[in-house]
Structure 1
Amino acid sequence: QNKPEIPSAMAIAREIKGVIQQETGLTASAGVSINKFLSKIASGLDKPDGLYLITPEAAAAFVANLPIEKFYGVGAATAQKMQNLGIQTGADLKQWAEADLVTHFGKAGRYYYGVARGVDDRPVNPNQIRKSIGAEQSFAADLETIEPMIAALEKLAAEVVTRMEKHQRYGYTLTLKIKYADYQQITRAQTIDVLFKDQQRLCNRAISLLEEHLDRSRRVRLLGLTVSNLAESTLAPPVQQLCLELPPFFR
């Protein structure tokens, strides 16, 4: 829904990027196209501070040339299965009948059949209930040592706490995402028995996960923090002690 009534999707994306930069100091990438599938892929093509447009006229050729592992909704295991079947690109995927894709991939086969043709009718729902709250940062230059990674996690922890406070939803599970320079990524999670509300606690846990699971021989392209297993805030408002005027015999 275009509440500001801005006539251009690109202008909306630029404004959102500007607000993020102004309020958080972080960069953001955005993708603009004719549906959720293409916009999602476009958002990852010009990181860390890009804005990529896939026009309606370019959509078919873009999808046809897209490597199957780059398709949104196709994970590593599914990509390997598709490649074993001879599906390397969107053009290959488009050659398959919908029934055959359903046979091999279940109900997801219908989704693959549509997106191979640039079709994705899923609505954008800005009011859906959040299952997680997070933030991530891609780096213009890959990070080679742990010190700047820790500094990045400190900023990300502050941003995640700010977002949780905004929504008044906090979580018990923290997930660290590490994407290496070769685009291989790992996620590691930790669940605690109290809500992550305090920035220092969240940051300390994130650093511990990083120190435990980071492959220090590899350069890092992106870091992310996500809090899930959410619950609404249970903080009660502070109790105000009232001053009572007591009768003389109680004094």
Structure 2
Amino acid sequence: MGPDADKHTDKHTDKHADNHQRRTTAPAEVPPPGRFSEDTLRELRRSSIMHVDMDAFFVSVELRSRPELKGRPVIVGYPADRSVVLSASYEARAFGVRSAMPMAVAARMCPSAVVIEPRHKLYYEVSGQIMAIFGSITDLVEPLSVDEAFLDVGGAIRRLGPPREIGELIRARVARELGITASVGIAASKFVAKIASTRCKPDGLLLITPEETIPYLHSLPVSALWGVGGKTVEVLARRGIRTVADVAASPLPSLRKLLGASGEHVYRLSWGIDPRPVTPVRLEKSIGAEETFATDTADDALLHRELLRLSHRTAERLRGAGMHARTVALKLRYADFSTITRSRTVSTPIDSAQLLYAVAVQLLESVGERPMTVRLVGIRAEQLEEAAHAPLQLSLDRRDDNWRAAEQALDAVTRKFGNKSVLPARLLDPANNHTANTDTANSDPAGQGNTGR
């Protein structure tokens, strides 16, 4: 999973928030409801999709044991200059600090911020507790990351009350049992529920009914639509399209011509059309890892050694998830922050570090002469399949089988003694100095969830 996202709200924040039941006071427990008529149930179930998202998750977890820091700017991240911000308190965000920002930049923006090194194991433990709370409410839980999920609570209304009361119940339990806060968006679709949770942060609840959906959406900037990033905003702005209402008023053929295949997607969202159900089981679409070097490098030997390290991290996580990959992707970020990717699909799905590494090296060589030094290198396993359903990784080279057996043995040692217990000899080189690493697992279509915590 990726780092703790900033999920900040556009500053033109809607004037309709209070009219849409935004809640920022401490949530109260909800008494057991009475029975509902079938007509009432049908009406309540029209707005039963929730997006529940923790507020500044990594920071909030850390503040449980550092209560003296509440109300102060706090950043979670490694203090090295070339590391990046993983999470920032809302007090730090007021200075412009955002997730994925270089720590050196964040320190200049907010020199008074307290920096806390991350404790990923703890965050995953709390994540499990969050998902357990969700699971006690409904079986229809679709996790997006360690601290957010979609829920369909239509089947829980008889037992727990209307969706807004269920949302307040979730917020109350998260606050009481975990000591952190959550924001809840409720709507008729996943897309609108996600917008609602973003716009009631921090520590709020926003319900948008089907009747309110179109007026609400049409009051927002076009950047509120999934899949509309900075470049798309610029393209649309050149045509005078700056709000969701402008998109909705544009002829679909014009949007297709302007945006290509995504034109129809953007148009449908502008009218609140998102028929996707909450899907409880979501397979990871990719698993990978990347490394930012302490110093930009042009050293092929160092790049190869780091690719081997990243291949082992990625392969271990593939095997742990019971997945095989059909495609291997290489990522290079140069000193000027420009980024390139190369990928190759293999004939048979793989989960071996040595096979991942072999493809990654081929991809690196395919880049040819690099124009400048490299700041970051990454590897990603894509087109994942469940190992139980994937064909066997057959090979005429017995060394492949030997490597798989060795890596499986390494997994067992790692589970027992930790991930630094046994390493390939090439990775024991003390000169391999790096400062910031990221393991990533993506189960979220582009623009749907968060890129950071």
Q: Cα distance 1:46–1:86, how it changes in 2: closer, same or farther (>3 A)?
A: farther
Q: Distance in 2 between matches of 1:33 and 1:100?
A: 38
CA shift, 1:179, in A, is 2.0
| Letter paired with 1:146 | D
| Structural mapping, 1:1-251, within 5 Å | 9-11=57-59, 29-31=85-87, 42-46=98-102, 73-74=227-228, 78=232, 81-82=235-236, 84-85=238-239, 93=242, 97-100=246-249, 104=255, 105-108=263-266, 128-234=282-388
Say if 1:208 and 1:11 are closer, same or farther in 2 by CA, change over 3 A: same
Identity over the aligned pairs, expressed in percent? 26
2:323–2:351 contact (8 Å) kept in structure 1: no
Partner SS state of residue 130, structure 1: coil
Contact map agreement 2:292 2:375 (CA 8 A) in 1: yes
Judged with a 3 Å threshold, the aligned counterparts in structure 2 of structure 1 residues 187 and 210 are, in CA distance, closer, same or farther, namely same
Secondary structure of the 2:304 match is helix
With the length of structure 1 as denominator, give the TM-score of the two structures.
0.56
Q: Which runs of 5 or more residues in structure 2 are unaligned? A: 1-53, 64-76, 91-96, 114-199, 203-222, 256-262, 273-277, 393-404, 406-453
Q: Partner letter of residue 338 of structure 2?
A: Q
The letter of the residue matching 1:178 is: L
Question: Is 1:168–1:233's contact at 8 Å kept on the other side of the alignment?
Answer: yes
1:205 CA drift (Å): 1.2
Following TM superposition, by how much is the alpha carbon of 1:202 offset from its aligned partner in structure 2, in angstroms? Answer: 1.0
Q: CA RMSD in A?
A: 4.9
Question: In structure 1, how many angstroms separate the alpha carbons of the residues matched to 2:268 and 2:284?
Answer: 26
In the alignment, the residues of structure 2 paired with residue 175 and residue 216 of structure 1 have an alpha-carbon distance, to the nearest angstrom, of 17
The alpha carbon displacement at 1:113 in A equals 11
Distance 1:7 1:42, change over 3 A: closer
User: What is the CA-CA distance between 1:195 and the residue it aligns to?
Assistant: 2.1
Q: How far is 1:222 from its partner?
A: 2.1
Partner of 1:247: none
- Aligned to 2:340, what secondary structure does the other structure show? strand
Letter in 1 for 2:320: K
**Matched-pair contact (CA < 8 Å) for 1:98–1:110:** no
Q: Provide closer, same or farther for how the CA distance between residues 82 and 178 of structure 1 changes in structure 2, counting only shifts above 3 A.
A: farther
The DSSP-based 3-state class of the residue aligned with 1:43 is coil
Q: Which amino acid in the other structure matches residue 11 of structure 1?
A: V
Residue by residue over 1:163-187, the C-alpha shift from the partner in whole angstroms, topping out at 9 and shown as x without a partner, is 1011010112111112222332222
- Paired with 1:179 and 1:56, the residues of 2 have a C-alpha distance of 33
Q: Is the 8 A contact 2:84 2:99 kept in 1?
A: no
Q: How many residues align?
A: 192
Residue 161 of structure 1 aligns with an amino acid whose one-letter code is A
CA distance in 2, matches of 1:190, 1:109: 33
Assess if the C-alpha contact under 8 Å between 1:177 and 1:185 holds in 2. yes
- 2:330–2:343 CA contact under 8 A, matched in 1: yes
Does 157-166 or 187-196 show the bigger shift?
187-196
